[in-house]
Amino acid sequence: MSLPIDCTLGANCYIEDYVDNNPAKGPQRDYTCGPHSRDGHKGTDFALTSFNDLDSGVSVLAAADGTVLRTRDSMPDDKEMRGVTSQNACGNAVLLDHGNGWSTLYCHLKQGTVAVAPGQIVRSGTYLGDVGLSGQTNHPHLHMSVTKEGKIVDPFHPSGEECGQTQATLWESAPAYDKTGFLTAGFSSKVPTLSEIRKGDAHLSETRPDAPIIVFGHVAYAQPGDVLTLSATAPNGQEIFVREIVLENPKISQMQAFGRKPPAKGWQKGEYIGKARLTRDDRLIGHRFSYLTVK
């Protein structure tokens, strides 16, 4: 398979989550036995780092030769996920048949951009549509899943053997893997503890105008010199803070946070966007969006 998205990994996109290689045995595990997946995740997520890319357009491409089986192009791009159910969580999508029981599915495409139709023959690299925000997603990314006779296959680990075993992949040129990455990131009204983060008690989705606004990032396997950038943007588009933190003494797991007290008149009401960005020698390793509503 070729890369199914027209972006530069490590620059304006990155692989956010891999197939969960431990779906029924407790904590999620990517194909290296690392943490970069979600419980029961059935595909590979190629995430963008800017909502502006939705306007300029980032192409979704066929990963291999095949025939279009089904498409959907009717769902709005809505990070609030209104009207999303288990039946349409993939959003606008293209399903390709590659023969011999193999298929690939491309999810969360931008409404109005699906460029192929059922029965159409495509080649590797054929334009299918643009990355969007349709279905069950609140940030721009492409979810691509691979199946063989209806069963999920991890393209990085197609044998299905125990994670961590080195083996051939399905890729023409396998994207590089970074053990370092985010476990989670989000808004809070105080600097959370690792215990609160692990319990899921740290994330804040609503707050008052007179409360502090803090963005935190929980990072795994950072290396000395990695840079964690935390920022928040107000509803009017103004950046209220940005903070670069050099991780000089990384641990297997660590949390960093930064924020501001409210101004004298309180925060403007509306939605705030938080960003946590992790880089190494200016190469993008991870990026997370979060949202906070001031009421």
Residue burial 197-211, b: 16+ Cβ < 10 Å; e: rest: beeeebbbeebeeeb
Query: Tens digits of per-residue pLDDT, 106-131?
Result: 999 999 999 999 999 999 999 999 99
Nearest Cα neighbor of 176 from 41, 50, 32, 275 is 32
Quick one: pLDDT at residue 260?
Answer: 97
- Inter-residue contact 155 to 170 (CB < 8 Å): yes
pTM, full prediction: 0.93
The top-level CATH class assigned to 181-294 is mainly beta
Residues in contact with 187: Cβ distance below 8 Å, sequence separation at least 6, in sequence order? 203, 204, 205, 207, 213, 214, 215, 216, 232, 272, 274, 290, 291, 292
Q: Would the CATH topology of 13-153 be identical to that of 181-294?
A: no
Report the pLDDT value the prediction gives residue 160, as an integer from 0 to 100. 85
How many angstroms separate the CA atoms of 263 and 157, rounded?
51
Q: What is the mean pLDDT of the chain?
A: 95
> Is 126:148 a contact under the CB 8 Å cutoff?
no
What confidence score (pLDDT) does residue 61 get? 98
Nearest CA-CA partner of 88 in 71, 65, 63, 103: 71
Is 13-153 assigned to CATH 2.70.70.10? yes
Q: For the segment 228-274, what is each residue's pLDDT rounded down to a tens digit?
A: 999 999 999 999 999 999 998 878 889 999 999 999 999 999 999 99
The residue whose two tokens read 């029981």 is 101
Those residues of the chain that have pLDDT short of 70 are none
**What are the residues whose beta carbons fall under 8 Å from the beta carbon of 200, sequence distance 6 or more?**
none
pLDDT at 251: 83
| Domain ranges within the chain, ordered by starting residue | 13-153, 181-294
